[in-house]
Structure 1
Amino acid sequence: MKLTEKIAKYDRDRPWFSFEFFPPKTDEGFENLLSRIARMLTFDPLALSITWGAGGNTKDRSLELAGITQSDHGVDTILHLTCTNMKKGMIEEALRDAKARGIETILALRGDPPRGQEHWIPTDPRFTHAVDLVSFIKTTPEFASDFCVGVAAYPDGHPDRETDEEGELEYLKQKIDAGGEFIITQLFYDVHSFLSWVKKVRQKGITVPIIPGIMPIQTYASFLRMTKLCGTRVPPELMADLVPIRHDDQKVKDYGVDLAVNMIKQMAASGDIRGLHFCTLNLEKSVVRILENLGWAGGSLKLANKLIADTAIGPTERVITPHHAADSAAVSLAVAGPQPEGEAGKGELNNAASWDDFPNGRFGDYKSPAYGETDLWGSSILSRNQALEQWGHPRTLDDLTTMFLGHLHSKIATTPFSPAPLSPESIMIIEHLERLTRRGWWTVGSQPAINGVSSADEVVGWGPRGGYVYQKCFVECFIEQKDLEKIERKVKEKGEGWIDLYAANLRGEFRTTAMEEARNAVTWGIFPGQEVAQTTIIEEESFLSWKDEAFAIWEEWASFYPPDSEERRLLNGVRNDRWLLTLIDHNYTNPSALWSFLFKDDPVI
């Protein structure tokens, strides 16, 4: 059923919500996400939404996941669809595929903006803005009657800041006039500002449902990254609350739950907001806790009187009850009994709902549904002009070395591989990173060895307080094949089992000295009353998944420059010829072990 038809079925006093997921990068993560979705369906979401990678880079996975949730689980699914940098004909192909899978709702998005005059893949000139996609669906007889179309909005302003607020409101109205039937907003944390924005939208004559995007704060680092990415306004009082607890991941997560609950209560009291859209980041626990705290948990049709009673709205109180999707497979899933165990990370004491609660990014557990967390709605952190301002116009290998050194020395804030300044813990090993980089081994990831430091430590601490954290030293860089062969030989002859390497190139060649199916925990923590928490794992599957992304970054970076330019030739040459290398030292008790091994007798460096 189309989303707008489902919304119309519910009374004004019944809140409803949807869950957003992204297709994981690995097969194991994909399978475990299906188990997670099955559990979360017991909360009776009105719909699920599945994201679409920029330029269609997750096309097959997005359609597969959306098809499973729509057909196998019987839950109405919203398929995100971005239109820029899409190969010609891909839009029609995606819409036909969605239609065949029974999907009836599309969230029409622009996606990544064009990268200059010539793009890195062939693009369809019919689609440069989201309004083009909305209009296409609604005016094409093949699709017009089959899809309900939603659009995105940015209460805090579009991250590209191409126009002022009035201009953005006018553009939003154009999307609605073209056929947009509902609005899902980008994340925000200032409810007062959001409600003021809603009034301005209504004054513009826009009457379609506005569905606020809610993203619970998971970690302080991810909060900073996402708010920067989305251009989100952060109230000073929120930062004042977060900064003192920023090193305690559990307190940050707890704060994020409480904040979301309070935000939802304020919005419910406004009278104009009926539904919510939870950006789950493929994580489960925080969203579940929010629903439980609101009294919307379990699909048991509890009355949510407390929601409005807690928000002093005057002498007349409305009774709000959670929606009940009786026509979905959620009901049958809820009573079907326990799901089969087997989800990765579920030990005797761990609950499958929360085994990957703590940071799980590029080197997290590749079996986690949250592995390879993607940015929202195909957005990029830097525009082309911003990138060129920071990264310049490299024409030689020495120019690239200078750029990477500039990041190490805090002369530039980012590189194509590092969206933020050098971290404090990397500064602990900066002299070694500098030595590698000057040699032409451009470092893009690293961490120092840590042996039992307090989890409250301001540089390397994480997780609940009262614990101890550990790290194996590793470094990741791009190197030439002749250097790879030297370091591989040295690891095999002199590593004595303490050093392992993973290396791969664009052509698909792969080398490793690790044991078959080895899974190297390189960051772990010991906390009171818990099993050992392993937040960073390096193994073949996750390394190869990241390798594909890493070489794609070189390609995108090259696209910033004209086709026949020296810059593009250089960057494409690096992409074609270099290897991505990760070196791990298993002796975490010796902070200098990896560096002594690399630099001793200096046969390579």
Structure 2
Amino acid sequence: MKLADKIAAHQDWPFFTFEFFPPKTNQGFENLLSRISRLSKLNPLAISITWGASGTTKDRSLELAGLTQQDYGVDTVLHLTCTNMEKGTVDDALRAAKERGIQNILALRGDPPRGQEYWIPTDPRFAHGIDLVSYIRSSPEFSSAFCIGVAAYPDGHPDREMDEDAEIDKLKDKVDAGADYIVTQLFYDVDNFLRWLGKVRDRGINVPVIPGIMPLQTYSSFLRLTKLCGSKIPASLHSELEAVKHDDQQVKEFGIRLATDMIRKLVGSGKVPGVHFCTLNLEKSVQRVLESLGWTNPRDTPRTKNKLIADTPGDAVHTNSVDSELLVTPITAAHSVTSGLSSAPAADRELGSGEINSATTWDEFPNGRFGDFKSPAFGNQDQWGGSVVTRPEATDAWGNPKTLDDLTSLFVRYLDNSEILTTPFTQGPLSSETRMIITHLQRLNKRGWWTVGSQPAVDGAPSEDEVVGWGPRDGYVFQKCFVEFFANREDVAKIEKAIEKEGGGWISYFAADQKGECRTNVPDDGRNAVTWGIFPGQEIAQSTIIERESFLSWKEEAFSIWSEWASFYPPGSAERKLLESVRDERWLVSVVHHDFKNPMALWTFFEESLLR
């Protein structure tokens, strides 16, 4: 059924929709289907499937959307972007959607593929979201087949190319071209949203406007996504979050309360018919928000447009996020996943975070880059794709590197905490955890091995420790020391030889280049947990795992960052030539020492075997 018709038929109670993205791996895809099956029992009005930045997941998107529409019987919205699309591919996508019974499209411009400095349409007929709307509406084959949604930005478009009034004019143009509903970018300032919505209505835009809600998952992902989306953060929210940022469980609880309160205020205004949850392929927080609202059983629990009726008090939030019946046995735990969004890479920062091995909660603390590749949340964490860094920001922060020595100086100065506060591989200054091993990282970088990820060894630190702690309180956390860096082919060979000769079986490594060659001493099915925790009443949680498929997925991301960095400089320039040569010639290396009880084990190996 078309979404606009469903919204019109449900004016007497608020609705909600869920958004998912196709995971990068086959096992992540299969596990997402189980997650969608569970969430579908909450009776969302529709499910939304993203197209992926640059259309790279279009086949997966169509497959996933077809399954949710046909196998799960949930009306599905397929995102469609202009990026890398031309008339033939747009027609193919629309026909494929139509064949799968999909009647709803969200038409977006999309973001430039990583490594391209500007958004340039493949087909000049598809340069903006409005072009997709106009094309569908003008097509005898597709015009009546689809209900079309478009995006809006209550806090302003991230590109900031025009003022608010001009953006609302553009939104009106999309509606006049045939859009049936609007989904907004995520936001956290409800008062500003309602003010913006008033201006939208005054402009004569009368189609449903569905606010995008993203419950906070972790402090680091909150910072990244709000920067990416250009979201305005109220000062009170920022200060409250700062107070709990070192406690993952409290951040998650805060996020649940915040999303619940936002939705109550939005729906209570009488101006919002429902909300759109950006799930990030995570499950528990969204379910908890709906439970708090009393929306988890709409057939039995009445809901009205201006009143929320629930069995629990208005501010009720469960204090224990782990349902005992969801605990799994050690046997099934061995086959389950444990943590992590494959987030945009961060240099030398804390990676650990996770909770129990439960089908609904195994990846509910997505801090780690190396979450299990089987996780439904293994993949793109952005709402609609995109990069955090702009060209002006890049050149201001990192200058004009023209030689390898310039790059070494940049990474060393970052570690020295001087005037460089970011690198292309991190979005902020050094973490306190990194400072525990700073002298060792400095040695590697001065050697020309540019570090982009690391963590110190930790043996049973309290889970509430402000530097290395994660997860619920009253537990203990553990870490194996690892470091990750870029090195040339000759150095990779030396590292391999040293590990084989002097590692004593204690050291695992992966090394890969941009072309696809991979070297390792880890078996194909090897799974190396490098961060884990023990918490009261729970099984051991393994929050950070390094194995072949997740490393190779991150490798693709890492080398694409070199391409993106190079794109900020003119073609033929010394800077672009340098950065592209690094991308083409260097290797990404990840080295783990398994002796977590000896904090110096990995660094002693490097000093005695490779840095003398």
Going from structure 1 to structure 2, the CA distance change for 1:139 and 1:212 (only over 3 Å counts) comes to same
Q: Matches of 2:548 and 2:308 in 1, distance apart?
A: 53
Q: Which moved more, 1:563-572 or 1:36-45?
A: 563-572
User: What is the correspondence of 1:194-273 to structure 2 with a 5 Å cutoff?
Assistant: 194-273=193-272
Q: Which moved more, 1:513-522 or 1:39-48?
A: 513-522
Counterparts in 2 of 1:235 and 1:364: CA distance versus 1, 3 Å: same
Most deviating of 163-172 and 520-529: 163-172
* Contact 1:29-1:371 at 8 Å conserved across structures: yes
Q: Which residue of 2 aligns with 1:107?
A: 106
Structure 2 counterpart of 1:367, from 371, 374, 393: 374
**8 Å contact 1:504–1:580 — kept in the other structure?**
yes
**C-alpha distance in 2, partners of 1:89/1:431?**
55
Aligned to 2:37: 38
Please give the secondary structure, in 1, of the residue aligned with 2:307.
Answer: helix
Relative to structure 1, the CA distance from residue 590 to residue 352 in structure 2 (aligned partners, 3 Å threshold; closer, same or farther) is same
Which one-letter code corresponds to 2:96 in the other structure? D
Post-superposition offset of 1:535: 0.9
Determine the C-alpha separation between the residues in 1 that align with 2:611 and 2:115: 40
**Displacement, 1:540?**
0.9
- Equivalent AA in structure 1 for residue 533 of structure 2: G
Identity over the aligned pairs, expressed in percent? 61
Tell me the SS of whatever aligns to 2:48: strand
TM alignment of 1:323-334, pairs within 5 A: none
Correspondence for 1:408 among 403, 411, 415: 415
Q: Does 1:351 align with 2:350?
A: no
Question: 1:26–1:367: 8 Å Cα contact kept in structure 2?
Answer: yes
Secondary structure of the residue aligned to 1:376 is: coil
Q: 1:115 touches 1:384 (CA, 8 Å); kept in 2?
A: no
Pick the aligned partner of 2:498 from 470, 476, 490: 490
Deviation for aligned residue 1:217: 1.0
User: So what's the TM-score if we normalise by structure 1?
Assistant: 0.89
1:79 maps to 2:78:
yes
Partner SS, residue 108 of structure 1: strand
- Give the C-alpha shift of residue 488 in structure 1: 0.3
Return the letter of the residue paired with 1:553: I
Q: Which moved more, 1:109-118 or 1:414-423?
A: 109-118
SS at match of 1:600: helix
User: For residues 161 and 492 of structure 1, do their structure 2 counterparts lie closer, same or farther at Cα, with a shift above 3 Å needed?
Assistant: same
Residue in 2 that maps onto 1:140: 139
What is the DSSP-based 3-state SS (H/G/I as helix, E as strand, rest coil) of the residue aligned with 2:568?
A: coil
Is the 1:83–1:129 contact (alpha carbons within 8 Å) kept by the matching residues of 2?
Answer: yes
CA contact (8 A) 1:483 1:604 kept: no
User: Aligned with 2:589: secondary structure?
Assistant: strand
- Residue 595 of structure 2 corresponds to residue 584 of structure 1: no
Q: Is the CA contact (8 Å cut-off) linking 1:86 and 1:124 kept in structure 2?
A: yes
Answer with 473-482 or 89-98: which moved more. 89-98
What CA distance in whole angstroms lies between the structure 2 residues aligned with 1:306 and 1:86? 40
- 1:554 pairs with 2:562: yes
SS at match of 2:40: helix
CA change 1:52–1:405 in 2 (3 A) is: farther
Q: 2:430 aligns with which of 416, 422, 426?
A: 422
Output the CA distance in 1 between the equivalents of 2:148 and 2:504.
Answer: 60
| In structure 2, distance between residues paired with 1:177 and 1:116 | 34
Q: CA deviation at 1:117?
A: 8.9
Distance in 2 of aligned mates of 1:272 and 1:440: 58
> Take 1:345 and 1:184, find their aligned partners in 2: how far apart are those partners?
32
Partner in structure 1 of residue 387 of structure 2: 380
- 1:150-201 deviation digits (Å, cap 9, x = unpaired): 1111111122222222122122112222222111111111111111111111
Kept after mapping to 2: 8 A contact 1:217/1:223: yes
Cα distance between partner residues in 2 of 1:476 and 1:121: 34
Change (3 A) 1:71 1:291: same
Pick closer, same or farther for the CA change 1:393–1:142 going to 2, 3 Å: farther
Instruction: Choose the corresponding residue for 1:468, options 458, 476, 501.
Output: 476
Describe the superposition over 1:389-444 as per-residue Cα deviations: whole angstroms up to 9, x where unpaired.
Answer: 22333322222222322332342333222222222211222222222122221111
Tell me, what secondary structure is at the counterpart of 2:186?
Answer: coil
Deviates more, 1:502-511 or 1:391-400: 391-400
Structure 2 SS opposite 1:580: strand
TM-aligned CA distance change 1:599 to 1:120, over 3 Å = farther
Residue 385 of structure 1: how far off its partner (Å): 2.2
| Contact 2:116–2:567 (Cα < 8 Å) also in 1 | no
Counterpart among 400, 404, 416 of residue 397 in structure 1: 404
Deviation at 1:144, TM superposition (A): 2.2
Q: Which of 435, 443, 461 is residue 435 of structure 1 equivalent to?
A: 443
Q: Secondary structure at the match of 1:212?
A: strand
Q: How is 1:145-164 mapped onto 2 (pairs within 5 angstroms)?
A: 145-164=144-163
Find the counterpart in structure 2 of residue 481 from structure 1.
Answer: 489
Name the TM-score, length of structure 2 as normaliser.
Answer: 0.88
Structure 1 residues 416 and 120, CA gap change in structure 2 (3 angstroms): farther
**Residue identity opposite 1:65 in structure 2:** L
Deviates more, 1:78-87 or 1:492-501: 78-87
Cα distance, 1:543 vs. partner? 0.6
Whether 1:17 and 2:16 are equivalent positions in the alignment is: yes
The Cα offsets for residues 294-335 of structure 1, whole Å up to 9 and x where unpaired, read as: 111145431247982689xxxxxxxxxxxxxxxxxxxxxxxx
| Residue of structure 2 equivalent to 1:320 | none
Tell me, what secondary structure is at the counterpart of 1:92?
helix
Aligned to 1:329: none
Cα offset for 1:361?
Answer: 4.1
In 2, Cα distance between equivalents of 1:572 and 1:5: 51
Alpha-carbon shift at residue 566 of structure 1 (Å): 2.7
- CA drift at 1:476: 0.8
What is the aligned partner in structure 1 of residue 290 from structure 2?
291
Give 3-state SS (helix, strand or coil) of 2:452's partner: strand
The separation in 2 between residues aligned to 1:114 and 1:287, in whole angstroms, is 30
- Please state how far the C-alpha of 1:282 moved relative to its aligned partner: 0.5
- Give 1:6 shift: 1.7
Select between 413-422 and 376-385 the one with higher mean Cα deviation.
413-422
Per-residue CA distance 1:185-221 (angstroms, 9 max, x = gap): 1111111111111111101110010001111111122
Q: Secondary structure at the match of 1:354?
A: coil
Please list, as runs of the form range in 1=range in 2, the aligned pairs for 1:533-552 lying within 5 A after superposition: 533-552=541-560
Q: 1:350 to 1:580 in 2, by over 3 A?
A: closer
Structure 2 counterpart of 1:502: 510
| Cα 1:385–1:100 shift into 2, 3 Å | farther
Deviates more, 1:362-371 or 1:81-90: 81-90
Residue from 446, 457, 469 that aligns with 1:449: 457
1:335 match = none
| Paired position in structure 1 for 2:122 | 123
- Which residues of structure 2 form unaligned runs of 5+? 311-331, 339-355
Partner AA of 1:180 in structure 2: A
Give, in angstroms, the shift of residue 266 of structure 1. 1.0
1:512 corresponds to: 520
Larger CA deviation: 246-255 vs 561-570: 561-570
Equivalent-residue separation in structure 1 for 2:564 and 2:58 (angstroms): 18
Task: Name the CA distance, whole Å, in 2 between partners of 1:85 and 1:417.
Answer: 26
Provide the C-alpha distance between the structure 2 equivalents of 1:391 and 1:91, rounded to a whole number of angstroms: 39
Count matched residues.
572
Aligned-partner SS, 1:558: helix
Change beyond 3 A, Cα 1:90–1:434: farther
1:9 and 1:487 map into 2 onto residues whose CA distance is 65
Decide whether the 8 Å contact of 1:120 with 1:559 is kept in 2: no
Report the CA distance between 1:514 and its aligned residue. 2.0
Aligned residue number for residue 180 of structure 1 = 179
* Cα distance in 1 for residues equivalent to 2:458 and 2:565: 34
Does the 8 A contact of 2:512 with 2:588 survive in 1?
yes
Counterparts of 1:87 and 1:553 in 2: how far apart (Å)?
26
